[in-house]
Amino acid sequence: METIFDSNQIQEILPHRYPFLLVDRIIELEPGQRIVGIKNVTLNEPFFQGHFPGLPVMPGVLIIEAMAQTGGLLMLGAVDDHLAKLLLFTGIDGAKFRRPVVPGDTLRIEMTLVRFKGKVCRLNGKAFVENQLAAEAEITSVLVDRSSLKKPVPVAAAKPETGESV
C-alpha cells in the first residue's frame, strides 16, 4: 500500500490531535472524488479502557468520526487555504454497523463525494476490516471559515451576573 499522506501530513490539514485523530494515513486519493484512509486499531486506544473491559470493541460513533475525518481530508485538500477552513459535521444518515472492530484490526475507510454544493458536502462512507464491511453511513458536513467560529470563554473566567472578568 502506497502512502499518499502520512500522519504528519494529515495533521497539517486536519485540526484533530491525539487522542481524537482517528486516521493514520491515506493510501488512495482521487481529488474531489474519493479517498481511502487507514486507521490501525490498537489495544492502547484510550476508549478501550471503558468500552468494554475484557471485551474491547471500537465504539461505532468513533468509526463514524474516523469516516468524517477521512472525508474532511478529501474536502479540505480540495479547497484553497485549507488552514483557514474547517469542515463541521452536520448529519449522519443510514448508519449501519455490520461487524465489531477490535484491537489488531486495520480499518480501511473509503469515502466518496456524493455532492458538494455551496459550502455543504455529502459523502458516502464505508469502513472495512479484511474486506468485510464493518460500517457504512452517509455524512453531511459544512465548510466554514475558522475565523467565523467564536472561542468559548472559560466558565470560571466570567461572573454569571455581569459577564465581567474576575
CA dist 123 and 89 (Å) reads 11
Domain boundaries, the chain: 7-157
Partner residues linked to 37 by β-bridges: 26, 109
Residue 82: active-site member: no
pLDDT value of position 163: 53
Along the 166 residues of the chain, how does pLDDT read in single tens digits? 799 999 999 999 999 999 999 999 999 999 999 999 999 999 999 999 999 999 999 999 999 999 999 999 999 988 888 889 999 999 999 999 999 999 999 999 999 999 999 999 999 999 999 999 999 999 999 999 988 888 766 666 555 555 554 4
Q: How many beta carbons lie within 10 A of that of residue 73, not counting itself?
A: 23
CATH number 1.50.10.10 given to 7-157: no
Amino acid (1-letter code) at residue 46: P
Tell me which of 11, 16, 34, 51 is the catalytic residue: 51
